[in-house]
Amino acid sequence: MVEQFSKKTEQVVETTHETYELNDTKEGTQSPKLKVESIDVNILRPEAILHGGSSAGLNDFETNRSYELETLDVTRDNAFEYSAEVETDTNNLRERRGGNVAEADEAGSVSTSQITDYDEGIDYPDGGTRAWIVLFGAFLGFTVDFGLINSTGAIQAYIAVHQLENVSNATTAWIFSLFLGCSYCGGIVSGILFDETGVKIPFILGTVLLVGGLFITANAESIGSFIGGFGIICGLGCALCMNPLMGVVSHWFKKKRAMAMGLATLGGSVGGIVFPLMLNSLYPKVGFVWAIRILAFICLIILVLSFILIKERLSANMLRGEQETSNPVAEGNNNKVRNKLKNCSKNLIKYSKGAVSFKYLLEPKFFFCALAATLSEISLVCSMTYFASYAIFIGQSESTAFVLLTVINAVGIVGRYTTGLLADMYGVYNVMIFMIFGVGMSHLVIWLGVCSTTKTAGSLYAYAAIFGFFSSAVLSLSPACCGAISPTRDFGKRYATMYFVAGIFFVAGITIAGVILGNDSMETYNNLIIYCGVLAFVGDLCWVISRYFIVGLKINVKV
């Protein structure tokens, strides 16, 4: 028996709700996949709906009935906002025209084989000349963006014993906590700009701020000028570049998205290798001022090349399923840009309110994904920021300290590529959980247990290599995990929301690390290591919880 159901009232109460995919091509549809949702609901009888439903009584409800909904675009949040066919008295959900089989158990739950595909009907090249060119452009952009984040230790280690020698670690920590906080909180604006105007406008603004901030940093002498130039201006520049670089890759890749994200963010490891070595070489030769200026010029050249190569493929209207309202042939480029800016500026406050309303955080799987990414990255950045200073404190030279940062990022290249491939094979969540567990173990077992005991260069290099491999997943797979539970049309806003949360916690997390470190002693450094390890393990637990809200307790599932 099949009934036609369309929600007209608020008298629908969902009791259980599971989603799975049925690989199928239904006659009359263009999508190769259908989303099927098994739902147990309290629902108005059809005759009550026909009578308006507003005065329905208890007798108008049928309870504890199992329904099977077929639709091309149904999620947990909007399942009842669409018309759908409802098949009643369904005891088992079975494949009817071929594809994967998903059967309901006796309690009505569904065995889910994979995460819901939110983008049926949108074709993705997943390769081709243009896609790989865009990916290379994103790689260049991340060489500067994430490369600068991965090189903060090379700047912190120098200014801590030169310009800010008489300033406490708790105070200097504000430079890097604000840098990271602005980098991620600013993603709210860049995510909106990317979703509404494309990649070019936010990327230009980000380039100007990032390079300008480095020139200000070069001439900084006081804690205030370092906070303003590097902490705030450079941080906002990184923010405006970061989300568009992530988002543009998602426009070209779907099945290979985790691998593509991993390859793009390899640029961060390349920058993390080159920048510390370059600064280590330039500091004694030309001094801090010209070393940072040279870094700024190199960043500018790389970002210009990235700007030339990157290009979005899907407009905001296409991702929302709307018709394009402009004629790209008849409309000139200047008018297109002007209209984009006009529309974006008009709607910026509106979209900003939507992006920071935290409505996405009401989804448990997204909330714990955001919290997991936040804690994992604080653990990573605290380690990267203070590891060079730690090496110098236990008796290693500045040159060795900078080389250790290079080792972390060099091994990270192998790690990011490997984790990208593994994530496409076994699932981004599964690989992320394993890798973050490795980060926590490397902190507490090798850094705390071995390095702090032996204080040898060999133990430091061993930690740098192992930590570099496991930590490589943090920056490369976090966006993929967010993308796995987000429609592409909302990726920019969801990613920005996730890192807005991260940015707030970064300011507190890095500052706490500086307070823990105090005035440098072996005891305070050990406390810092424990702090980093605990953050990693708690972050890993949050990844596990987020995964639970996607597939439950199922272990042998690609997520």
Question: Which DSSP string corresponds to 98-131?
Answer: SS----B-TTS-B---S---TTTT----SSSHHH
For residues 107 and 193, the model is more confident at: 193
Which is more confident, 420 or 9? 420
The CA-atom distances, in angstroms, between 493 and each of 185, 189, 488 are 12, 9, 10
Round the CA-based radius of gyration of the chain to a whole number and report it.
Answer: 25
With contact defined as beta carbons under 8 Å apart, do 511 and 173 qualify? yes
Out of 10-24, 35-49, 285-299, 304-318, give the one with best mean pLDDT.
285-299
Phi, psi of 191 (to 5 degrees): -65, -40
Flag whether pLDDT at 520 surpasses 60: yes
The predicted model gives 337-343 an average pLDDT of 58
Query: What digits encode the pLDDT tens for the residues 258-279?
Result: 778 778 888 988 999 999 999 9
Looking at residue 198, its pLDDT comes to 80
Mean pLDDT of 117-128: 62
Per the model's pLDDT, the better-predicted residue between 376 and 336 turns out to be 376
Least confident segment among 221-235, 346-360, 494-508, 521-535: 346-360
Task: Give pTM, 2 decimals.
Answer: 0.68
Per-residue pLDDT, 122: 61
Q: What is the pLDDT of residue 475?
A: 76
Q: For 90-100, what is each residue's pLDDT tens digit?
A: 333 333 333 33
Fold assignment, 129-318+342-349+361-551: Growth Hormone; Chain: A; (1.20.1250)
pLDDT of residue 433: 96
Structure tokens belonging to residue 494: 């969801």
Q: DSSP string spanning 390-426?
A: HHHHTT--HHHHHHHHHHHHHHHHHHHHHHHHHHHHH
pLDDT band at 374 (very low <50, low <70, confident <90, very high): very high
Lowest-confidence range among 30-39, 214-223, 313-322, 463-472? 30-39
Rounded CA separation 137/272 (Å): 17
Residues 6+ apart with CB under 8 A from 20: 36, 37, 38, 100, 102, 110, 111, 112, 113, 114, 116
Tell me the pLDDT band of 337, cut-offs 50, 70 and 90.
low
Share of the chain above pLDDT 70, in %: 69
Q: At what angle do helices 129-150 and 200-218 cross, to 10 degrees?
A: 30
Which residue shows structure tokens 């599932």?
Answer: 557
pLDDT value for 64: 35
Assess whether pLDDT exceeds 60 at residue 123.
yes
> Is residue 128 predicted with pLDDT exceeding 50?
yes
Please give the average per-residue pLDDT across 309-318, as a whole number: 68
- State yes or no: pLDDT of 500 exceeds 50: yes
What pLDDT does residue 332 have?
53
Taking only the tens place, the pLDDT of each residue in 46-60 is 333 233 333 333 333
pLDDT at 49: 29
Looking at the chain, the whole-number percentage of residues with pLDDT higher than 90 is 43
Q: Is the pLDDT of residue 76 over 60?
A: no
Distance between start and end Cα atoms, the chain: 35
Mean pLDDT on 346-368: 74
The predicted structure's pLDDT at residue 356: 60
Distance between CA atoms of residues 222 and 342, nearest Å: 40
Predicted local confidence at residue 260, as pLDDT: 82
pLDDT of residue 357: 56
Decide which of 49 and 428 is more confident.
428
What does the pLDDT average to over 511-517? 93
Comparison of pLDDT for 345 and 70, the residue scoring more? 345
Between 257 and 63, the more confident residue is 257
Domain boundaries, the chain: 2-87, 129-318+342-349+361-551
Convert the pLDDT of each residue in 134-191 to its tens digit.
899 999 999 999 999 889 999 998 998 899 988 988 899 999 999 988 987 877 777 7
